[in-house]
């Protein structure tokens, strides 16, 4: 049971990154369906930078300086952020400056991101092989140890310690980012302006808010956050094993945004529920493979139910931003 | 009265393409006064005000604020000169509270604390006698509350010159009175208020002076106390200009469409049509005159089966069978299935009339796709019709497959009218068919409508230019606030007469008074 809960949290935080990023960009009115692609890009950028880093400093064996390990964590995080921001920039250039359709652009970004990550990982594998000839062992499983390294006292605190403190840096980062996003959106002038841009860009424009700048900014920041989700999935959830199912996490994140009615703070428990539902099948004994797959669609099912409930109640606060999915340009007379 | 100039406009000119919206307009507004701006639709009132508010930039002329020349290039600049405009269409974010909307875009360097904003909003409200809950969400508010938020928004930014674009159009008489009380308080506070309105009685009751615009030009500014409704109307509509539109006498008119006592409310519960009754005869053009938004659109749409009516009947005399049929609450498709031929030229050409991304042929097929028995479409007849329309109406387009959104406004309008006429209607309704057209295209449309009339079609023409209405139409129906205020003979009607009917304040009390006066 305890492992189930901790695993649910770990998967959940991957989704939390994805959905926080998506919420930020949706609040600006950008329906970015490129999140799965962005997460792939984030993971791939992180892995590539990790590969280059290890091949420069040598294998991450025990007993090296603390800073070697620290940079092994920080560099992939930084490059994932850069990769995500670049993907966000691409999306914004297409939708804001070139006024292309947001849905199409998002789906293109997903396809592009998945493809690009495959290309990058293939070259990483080549690099690993060539490096092993020179005696450098590039191992993501080894690197992921430092991503998942928990505070030393976690295991001494019993169940509570396990439940609250046994996670790696990415998990806490995800919660911090979600809380910051929730605070900025609801409590600051920046957040007010951003929400106005997403709700009613014409009004925001008339109030002297630079709609394009806000959309560019929010989308780049949002994608950077989402990209961290991809990295978390590989380095934390899968302990450094690359699997091509990151995009599934991306779609779950998009569903999570709807599930949590565009609120990053609700997304924190929401993501854990999603994570739990996603892995529930593996922790129930004696069910067939087919049943397991049915369990995996539970998050989507729950999202549909939430969507139906919020639509029936029709409370304005729980609706998507009114300007979502629509590009804005001043009407010319 | 202390007459200190707040803002002065000198020889302001603004053109859009080849349309002159404002020409050499001079205007002076003093501190602590309410100036009303009066004019017909399209007389350039809103354009002029938009230039003060920084939405448009004048082509020529000067704006002088507080004795110094002002360059107002954006709404932000306008706020720097303490000018604020309350637009007809509110610019508010629905899911935000009143305060959040007020603070939006304001960055005065102070810390962002909504409780402070709430207090300041409440203070402004109290000072001028508004009633507002700063924490209420916009989507929970009534129209008048939303307007209050807009006004507070402007005051919050410290505006001394307030421009209100038709503020009373959406208000009930009681709400209007409240608004006027607030405006008078602001005036006492030394603020200058410019109010755009069509309603004559409001001009007379609220304003200190009235500026009249006609066709983009400033006609005169007079003291309200020294003028009369009749004088203002005359200045507003101007002298009769002869247009020489061919108007043959109607031939064998017979009742085609009998509309009796129809009423309708819009989605917000506002009465948009109020007990409308009239008859449209075959072989005549029935003009509908009125200030924009008086219910013209709803009236045409309810006849076409696109707008629900709450009461009343629309009877249609089917020329094929000679029977009367009721059109009420039938869908457009049912109306057509009944053999009722009703062609409709909507106000919004590209929105409802045509599909912008499709060519002329495809747009014609929107009317004919149900014809034919095969499951495949027959493109030949519509294509021929497209070619015919292009040729006969002189549509300038590369070919009949070019997307219509690439055509100019006049050509789009020709395609639309041409298509509706081609279906050989018995009733042809056209709303503002010459809007945005140059003079030649306009005449072509007039001739087309006259041609249809001679073919025995009952033409209903909604227009805004009174000169055209009085020369084109056989009868003119004047609509004002969803009510019919008069049906005049097109040949004898005076522009002033129509103007008065369009702007007159009609309340049941006054109507009764008129009746009793008539009896005497």
Q: Which ipTM score applies to this complex?
A: 0.84
Residue B242 forms part of a structural domain: no
Residues B281, B395, single domain; the answer is no
A53-57, B27-31, B65-69, B242-246, range with the lowest pLDDT = B242-246
| pLDDT at residue B436, rounded to an integer | 65
| pLDDT at residue B443, rounded to an integer | 81
Residue A333 pLDDT greater than 50, yes or no: no
Q: What is the pLDDT of residues A79-117, one digit of tens each?
A: 999 999 999 999 999 999 998 999 999 999 999 999 999
Residue B281 forms part of a structural domain: yes
Q: What percentage of chain A has pLDDT greater than the value 70?
A: 98
| pLDDT at residue B514, rounded to an integer | 46
Among B207-211, B355-359, B495-499, top mean pLDDT goes to B207-211
Residues B366, B397, single domain; the answer is yes
Q: Which residues of A touch B (CB under 8 A)?
A: 187-189, 192-193, 195-196, 199-200, 202-204, 206-209, 316-317, 319, 322, 333
Asked whether B292 and B464 are in contact (CB, 8 A), the reply is yes
**DSSP output for B406-473:** GS-HHHHHHHHHHHHHHT--SEEEEESTTTT--HHHHHHHHHHHHHHHHTT-EEEEE-S-HHHHHHH-
Residue B152 forms part of a structural domain: yes
The structural domain count of chain B equals: 3
| pLDDT at residue B150, rounded to an integer | 92
Asked whether A244 and A303 are in contact (CB, 8 A), the reply is no
Name the more confident of B444 and B286: B286
Q: Number of CB pairs < 8 Å for A and B?
A: 58
Residue B204 forms part of a structural domain: yes
CA dihedral B96, B98, B102, B103 (to 10 degrees): -60
Q: Which of B16, B105, B137 sits opposite A208 (nearest CB)?
A: B105
Q: What is the phi/psi pair of residue B187, to 5°?
A: -60, -45
Q: B520: how many CB neighbours lie within 10 A of its CB?
A: 4
Residue B507 pLDDT greater than 70, yes or no: no
Residue B71 pLDDT greater than 80, yes or no: yes
Residue B505 pLDDT greater than 70, yes or no: no
Residues B283, B429, single domain; the answer is yes
Of the three residues B423, B448, B472, the one that is the final residue of a domain is B423
Residues A65-103 as b or e (16 or more Cβ within 10 Å = b): eeeebeebbebbbebbbbbbbbbbebbbebbbeeeeebe
- Best residue of A205, A208, A314 to probe chain B, by most B CBs closer than 10 Å: A208
Mean pLDDT over residues B55-67, rounded? 89
Name the more confident of B504 and A54: A54
Residue B490 forms part of a structural domain: yes
Q: What is the domain range of residue B399?
A: 353-423
Q: In this structure, are strands B285-289 and B458-462 parallel, antiparallel, or unpaired?
A: parallel
Residue A42 pLDDT greater than 90, yes or no: yes
Question: How far is the first Cα of chain A from the last one, in angstroms, to the nearest whole number?
Answer: 64
Residue with tokens 């929010």: A218
Structure tokens at B463: 């227009």
Mean pLDDT over residues A41-57, rounded? 92
| pLDDT at residue B64, rounded to an integer | 92
In three-state secondary structure terms, B192 is: strand
CATH number of the domain to which B440 belongs:
3.40.50.300
Find chain A residues with C-beta within 8 A of B103's C-beta.
189, 192
In three-state secondary structure terms, B141 is: coil
Cross-chain residue pair A316–B94, CB shorter than 8 Å? yes
Asked whether A65 and A275 are in contact (CB, 8 A), the reply is no
Cross-chain residue pair B91–A193, CB shorter than 8 Å? no
| pLDDT at residue B340, rounded to an integer | 64
- When pLDDT is cut at 50, 70 and 90, the band that residue B508 belongs to is very low
Of the three residues B423, B440, B457, the one that is the final residue of a domain is B423
The rounded Cα A42 to chain-centroid distance in angstroms is: 8
Residues B413, B471, single domain; the answer is no
Q: H/E element holding B86?
A: strand B83-86
Q: What is the pLDDT of residues A273-289, one digit of tens each?
A: 999 988 888 888 777 88
d(CA A314, nearest CA chain B) in Å: 12
Q: Which of A187, A188, A203 sits opposite B93 (nearest CB)?
A: A203
Residues B110, B221, single domain; the answer is yes
| pLDDT at residue B513, rounded to an integer | 45
Of the three residues B208, B237, B266, the one that is the final residue of a domain is B237
Question: Distance (Å, rounded) from C-alpha A168 to C-alpha A233?
Answer: 12
Name the more confident of B293 and B511: B293
Mean pLDDT of chain B: 83
Residue B300 forms part of a structural domain: yes
Strands (E), chain A: none
Name the more confident of B350 and B441: B441
Residue B456 pLDDT greater than 70, yes or no: yes
Q: What is the pLDDT of residues B364-405, one digit of tens each?
A: 888 777 766 777 777 888 888 888 888 887 787 888 888 887
CATH architecture of A2-332: Orthogonal Bundle (1.10)
Residue A19 pLDDT greater than 80, yes or no: yes
Residues B208, B306, single domain; the answer is no
Residue B155 forms part of a structural domain: yes
Residue B243 forms part of a structural domain: no
Find chain A residues with C-beta within 8 A of B105's C-beta.
193, 196, 204, 207-209
- Best residue of A197, A200, A210, A323 to probe chain B, by most B CBs closer than 10 Å: A200
Residue A325 pLDDT greater than 50, yes or no: yes
How many CA atoms does the CB half-sphere of A72 hold within 13 Å? 29
Cα–Cα distances in angstroms (integers) from residue A207 to residues B77, B142, B170, B344, in the given order: 11, 22, 23, 39
């Amino acid at each position: 049971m305890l492992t189930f809960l901790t695993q649910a949290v770990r998967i959940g935080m991957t989704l939390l990154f994805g959905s926080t990023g998506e919420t930020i960009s949706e609040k600006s009115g950008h329906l970015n369906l490129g999140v799965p692609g962005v997460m792939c890009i984030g993971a791939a950028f992180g892995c590539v930078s990790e590969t280059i880093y290890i091949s420069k400093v040598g294998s991450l064996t025990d007993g090296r300086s603390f800073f070697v390990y620290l940079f092994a964590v920080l560099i992939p995080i930084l490059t994932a952020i850069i990769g995500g921001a670049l993907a966000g920039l691409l999306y914004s250039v297409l939708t804001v400056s070139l006024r292309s359709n947001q849905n199409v652009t998002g789906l293109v970004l997903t396809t592009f991101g998945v493809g690009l990550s495959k290309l990058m990982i293939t070259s990483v594998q080549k690099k690993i092989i060539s490096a092993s000839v020179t005696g450098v062992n590039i191992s993501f499983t080894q690197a992921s140890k430092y991503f998942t390294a928990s505070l030393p006292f976690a295991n001494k605190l019993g169940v509570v310690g396990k439940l609250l403190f046994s996670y790696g840096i990415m998990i806490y980062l995800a919660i911090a980012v979600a809380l910051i996003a929730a605070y900025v959106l609801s409590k600051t002038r920046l957040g007010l302006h951003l929400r106005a841009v997403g709700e009613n860009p014409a009004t925001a424009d008339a109030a002297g808010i630079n709609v394009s700048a806000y959309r560019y900014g929010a989308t780049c920041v949002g994608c950077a956050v989402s990209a961290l989700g991809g990295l978390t999935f590989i380095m934390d959830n899968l302990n450094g094993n690359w699997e091509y199912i990151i995009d599934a996490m991306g779609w779950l994140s998009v569903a999570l945004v709807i599930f949590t009615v565009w609120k990053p703070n609700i997304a924190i428990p929401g993501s854990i529920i999603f994570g739990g539902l996603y892995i529930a099948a593996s922790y129930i004994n004696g069910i067939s493979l087919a049943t397991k797959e049915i369990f995996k669609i539970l998050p989507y099912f729950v999202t549909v139910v939430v969507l139906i409930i919020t639509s029936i109640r029709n409370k304005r606060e729980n609706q998507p931003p009114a300007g979502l999915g629509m590009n804005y340009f001043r009407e010319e007379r | 009265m202390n007459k200190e100039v707040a803002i002065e406009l000198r020889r302001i000119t603004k053109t859009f393409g080849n349309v002159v919206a404002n020409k050499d307009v001079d205007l002076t507004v003093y501190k602590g006064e309410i100036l009303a701006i009066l004019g017909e639709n399209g007389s350039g009132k809103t354009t002029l005000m938009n230039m003060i508010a920084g939405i448009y930039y004048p082509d020529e002329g000067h704006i002088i604020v507080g004795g110094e020349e002002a360059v107002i290039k954006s709404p932000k600049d306008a706020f720097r000169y303490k000018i604020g405009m309350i637009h007809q269409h509110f610019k508010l974010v629905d899911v935000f509270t009143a305060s959040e909307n007020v603070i939006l875009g304001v960055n005065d360097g102070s810390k962002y604390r909504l409780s402070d904003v709430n207090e300041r909003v409440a203070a402004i409200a109290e000072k001028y006698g508004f009633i507002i809950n700063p924490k209420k969400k916009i989507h929970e508010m009534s129209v008048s509350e939303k307007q209050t938020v807009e006004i507070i928004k402007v005051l919050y930014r410290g505006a001394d010159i307030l421009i209100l674009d038709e503020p009373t159009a959406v208000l009930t008489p009681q709400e209007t009175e409240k608004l006027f009380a607030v405006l008078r308080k602001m005036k006492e506070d030394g603020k200058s208020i410019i109010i755009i309105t069509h309603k004559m009685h409001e001009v007379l009751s609220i304003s200190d002076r009235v500026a009249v615009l006609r066709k983009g030009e400033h006609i005169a500014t007079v003291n309200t106390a020294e003028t009369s409704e009749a004088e203002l109307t005359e200045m507003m509509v101007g002298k009769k200009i002869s247009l020489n539109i061919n108007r043959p006498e109607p031939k064998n008119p017979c009742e085609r469409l009998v509309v009796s006592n129809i009423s309708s409310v819009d989605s917000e519960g506002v009465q948009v049509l109020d007990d409308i009754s009239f008859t449209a005869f075959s072989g005549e053009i029935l003009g509908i005159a009125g200030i924009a938004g008086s219910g013209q659109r709803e009236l045409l749409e309810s006849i076409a089966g696109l707008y629900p009516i709450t009461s009343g009947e629309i009877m249609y005399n089917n020329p094929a069978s000679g029977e009367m049929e009721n059109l009420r609450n039938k869908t457009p498709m049912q109306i057509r299935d009944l053999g009722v031929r009703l062609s409709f030229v909507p106000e919004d050409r590209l929105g409802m009339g045509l599909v912008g991304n499709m060519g002329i042929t495809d747009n014609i097929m929107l009317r004919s796709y149900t014809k034919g028995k095969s499951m495949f479409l027959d493109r030949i007849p519509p294509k021929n019709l497209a070619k015919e329309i292009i040729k006969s109406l002189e549509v300038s387009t590369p070919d009949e497959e070019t997307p219509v959104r690439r055509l100019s406004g006049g050509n789009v309008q020709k395609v639309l009218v041409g298509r509706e006429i081609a279906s050989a209607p018995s009733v042809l309704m056209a709303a503002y068919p010459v809007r945005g057209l140059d003079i030649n295209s306009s005449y072509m449309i007039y001739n087309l409508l006259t041609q249809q009339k001679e073919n025995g079609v009952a033409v209903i023409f909604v227009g805004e230019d009174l000169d055209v209405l009085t020369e084109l139409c056989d009868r003119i129906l004047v609509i004002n606030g969803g009510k019919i205020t008069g049906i005049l003979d097109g040949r004898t009607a005076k522009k002033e007469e129509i103007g008065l009917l369009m702007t007159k304040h009609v309340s049941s009390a006054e109507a009764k008074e008129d009746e009793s006066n008539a009896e005497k």
